[in-house]
Amino acid sequence: MNIGTAADQANLPPKTIRYYEEIGLVTPSRAENGYRDYSENDVHRLRFLQRSRSLGFTIDECRLLLSLYDDKNRASADVKAVALEKVTEIDRKIADLQSLRDTLATLAKHCHGDGRPDCPIIDDLAGEAANAAT
Amino acid sequence: MNIGTAADQANLPPKTIRYYEEIGLVTPSRAENGYRDYSENDVHRLRFLQRSRSLGFTIDECRLLLSLYDDKNRASADVKAVALEKVTEIDRKIADLQSLRDTLATLAKHCHGDGRPDCPIIDDLAGEAANAAT
DNA sequence: ATAGGGCTTCCAGTTACTGGAAGGTCAAGA
DNA sequence: TCTTGACCTTCCAGTAACTGGAAGCCCTAT
């Protein structure tokens, strides 16, 4: 099938699919006219990629996951390890964001938010304040 | 002062400081020998930038914040709006990450994690499973 | 025949730096 | 005075994962 159809079935833009080919993730055969020709298996792999990416895995992690997907002798422990590592990473990101959020919210709460220039947010950013929030 | 000293005082790498100059954020004068020469005010602006960036503001937002910092007739409401918008954005990111995290954790929990190939994580990614987790 | 839509490749831009090469400058020590 | 090493300069390239756009070929329907 053509790239447009594959794109619809995998829920990925054609541009992205070409990119995945360029980096060696999914390499379709070519029709006589030079068009990419995607097999069912190619589409499966594309769907696998879109799902993996949407779950936050990097391209390199997707590469690994794809190889595990292909490996019928894989150990599920290997897959689980990748997933759990990602969970830990996400937890760290969430904690970081939470901390930023709290700092910003505290600063904003202390700001009058009126027409006057006094602003604890600016003061904090300028480092002139006694750390209203860290 | 030279870029190295400014870097120490602003807690930013020299490379980053040069980059900030390139994009027009902080433009120091030059000494006779061609070296950048940072004033106290330049360093204040650099510190302002490092703090703003560390709080998650993009470069463009920092540009805006810097202009508010410079504007002695600013309305604190404008600053507060920027901060609150960022809080909202961060909240959204946290929610997204939380959802990913939960999905992954659920998938991992259902995975035996042993030497056998059966793996609900792979099944989910392949879209072959009845959405164990969404 | 022509119009449109889809396909091709290739190049550039995005964010916010970071690394590295090639070379000039400065201060301290032998 | 010379040298050494740290520091400074500019410029180019690379990062992650696409995305937009240009120029041009192909296919189908009217």
User: What percentage of chain B reaches a pLDDT higher than 70?
Assistant: 95
Q: Is the CB of A51 under 7 A from strand D?
A: no
Closest nt by CA–C1' to B12: C17
Reported ipTM exceeds the 0.90 cut:
no
Contact B44, A128 (CB under 8 A): no
Predicted confidence (pLDDT) at residue B129 exceeds the cutoff of 90: no
Averaged pLDDT, B4-18: 96
Q: Which of B34, B36, B35 is nearest to B26 (CA)?
A: B36
pLDDT of residue B88: 95
Contact B68, B74 (CB under 8 A): yes
pLDDT of residue A128: 66
Predicted confidence (pLDDT) at residue B131 exceeds the cutoff of 70: no
Phi, psi values for residue A29, rounded to 5°:
-80, 175
End-to-end CA distance of chain A: 55
pLDDT in tens, B82-115: 999 999 999 999 999 999 999 999 999 999 999 9
Rounded mean pLDDT of chain B?
A: 93
Rounded mean pLDDT of chain A?
A: 93
Inspect the interface and report whether the beta carbons of B81 and A126 lie closer than 8 Å.
no
Averaged pLDDT, A15-31: 96
Nucleotides of D under 7 A from a protein CB: 7-10, 16-20, 26-27
pLDDT of residue A129: 52
Query: Beta strands A29-30 and A36-37: pairing type?
Result: antiparallel
Predicted confidence (pLDDT) at residue B134 exceeds the cutoff of 50: no
User: What's the CA gap between B131 and B113, in Å, rounded?
Assistant: 19
**What CATH number is given for B1-74 in this structure?**
1.10.1660.10
**pLDDT class of A71 with cuts at 50, 70, 90:** very high
User: What's the CA gap between B84 and A18, in Å, rounded?
Assistant: 39
Averaged pLDDT, B16-42: 96
Delimit the domains of chain A by residue range: 1-74, 76-134
Taking the Cβ of residue B102 and every Cβ of chain A, the question of whether any pair is shorter than 8 Å is answered with no
Inspect the interface and report whether the beta carbons of A126 and B86 lie closer than 8 Å.
no
User: What's the CA gap between A38 and A4, in Å, rounded?
Assistant: 10
Joined together, the tokens standing for residue B105 give 């954790």
Spell out where chain A has E strands.
Answer: 29-30, 36-37
**pLDDT class of B128 with cuts at 50, 70, 90:** low
Phi, psi values for residue A36, rounded to 5°:
-70, 140
pLDDT in tens, A77-98: 999 999 999 999 999 999 999 9
CB within 8 A of B23, min separation 6: which ones? B59
Nucleotides of C under 7 A from a protein CB: 6-9, 15-19, 25-26
Sequence-separated contacts (24+) of A21-28 with Cβ below 8 Å: A23/A59, A25/A49, A25/A59, A25/A62, A25/A63, A25/A66, A28/A3
User: What's the CA gap between A39 and A59, in Å, rounded?
Assistant: 22
Taking the Cβ of residue B44 and every Cβ of chain A, the question of whether any pair is shorter than 8 Å is answered with yes
Contact A116, B77 (CB under 8 A): no
Averaged pLDDT, A100-127: 94
pLDDT of residue A96: 95
Predicted confidence (pLDDT) at residue B130 exceeds the cutoff of 50: no
pLDDT of residue A127: 83
pLDDT in tens, B40-66: 999 999 999 999 999 999 999 999 999
